[in-house]
Amino acid sequence: MTVPTLNNVTCTDASGTHRMAYWLWGAADAAHLVVCVHGLSRQGRDFDVLARSLVERSPVPLRVACPDVVGRGRSEWLKDPMLYGVPTYAADMLQMLQQLHGESPIATLDWVGTSMGGLIGMAIAGTPQLPLPAPVRRLVLNDVGPVIQWSALQRIGTYLGQTGRFESVQQAAQAMWQISQGFGPHTPEQWLALSLAMVRPLAGGGFTLHYDPAIAVPFRALSEPLAIAGQAQLWQLYDRIRAETLLLRGAGSDLLTAGTAQEMMRRGPRARLVEFEGVGHAPTLVADGQVEAVASFLLTTDSVAHEKPHRGAG
């Protein structure tokens, strides 16, 4: 079975430097790179099913990089919690891309971003003249857009930063499931696989969630007026995107509304929309239909970004 290797890149920030970990799948010298970036409190192993499928299905050698965004998973925690935000994350991704390009040149660059990872992708693809090894060719935005519903942010705020203590991985998985109903149906085996990399052992016994509780500090400093004001900047980023764009949406999402999704189909890169019934925020890209939507978009040689929207199986 295809498995990833754990790698690290040293990144600079306003307080000095920090180490970001990333999981690398496929051929280390492949010229085609897909970057998969997770959501707010998750980590790079969320993409195991998708990354493995992409590598095994690709007609050409493929690299897939799945970073643990700083403060999550195997990456270091920031000294200043107020640096937890998209500007820091996007800068880290640029440094990872430079390192990967130095190891073997990147000719084709694609991006898959879930929620926060999609916002980072919008910053990367929508900011002109960034020192990218190649322009972003195809962009997958998983249940996120320029307008993020305040009620969804309030819901996330009720649990973000509460990393807890659990007697077992299974107990931690059950606790995470209680706040993750929007991810849609999963078998117990699928959910446990998604949960394994989300916990780390504690020195005194037991387990806790594998992220820095301080990522909640800047999140809690956000107000509704600030969130609304940020929408204009996000729309500017989105409108500048030139990559073919696929927008995935959980049909029951409370973060990305149907109205925002429709607007994203009309402007900027005119995203192609695929919705998944029985799913909210956000599809985990584990179910066969979800994997197929992403794989067919990224691995086909034909332009598919402007096909009519359709609904997919969860």
The domains of the chain are located at: 5-151+227-312
| C-alpha span between 200 and 234 (Å, rounded) | 34
Q: Any idea which fold 5-151+227-312 has?
A: Rossmann fold (3.40.50)
What average pLDDT does the structure give for the chain?
95
Structure tokens at 87: 């500007």
Residue-level pLDDT at 311? 61
This prediction has a pTM of 0.95
pLDDT at position 306 is 40
- DSSP letter for 215, please: G
Q: Cα–Cα distance between 219 and 150 in angstroms, integer? A: 12
Task: Compute how many other C-beta atoms are within 10 angstroms of the C-beta atom of residue 178.
Answer: 8
Q: Helix, strand or coil for residue 85? A: coil
pLDDT beneath 70: ranges in the chain: 1, 302-314
pLDDT of residue 307: 42
pLDDT at 15: 86
> What is the rounded radius of gyration, in angstroms, for the C-alpha atoms of the chain?
18
State the burial class of residue 77 (Cβ atoms within 10 Å of its Cβ: 0-12, 13-18, 19+): middle
> For residue 231, with 0-12 CB atoms within 10 Å meaning exposed, 13-18 middle and 19 or more buried, which class applies?
middle
d(Cα 96, Cα 22) in Å, to the nearest integer? 8
Which own/partner contact pairs does 133-136 have at CB distance under 8 Å and 24+ positions apart? 133/97, 133/98, 133/100, 133/101, 133/105, 133/106, 133/109, 134/106, 134/107, 134/108, 134/109, 135/109, 135/242, 135/243, 136/109, 136/110, 136/111, 136/241, 136/243
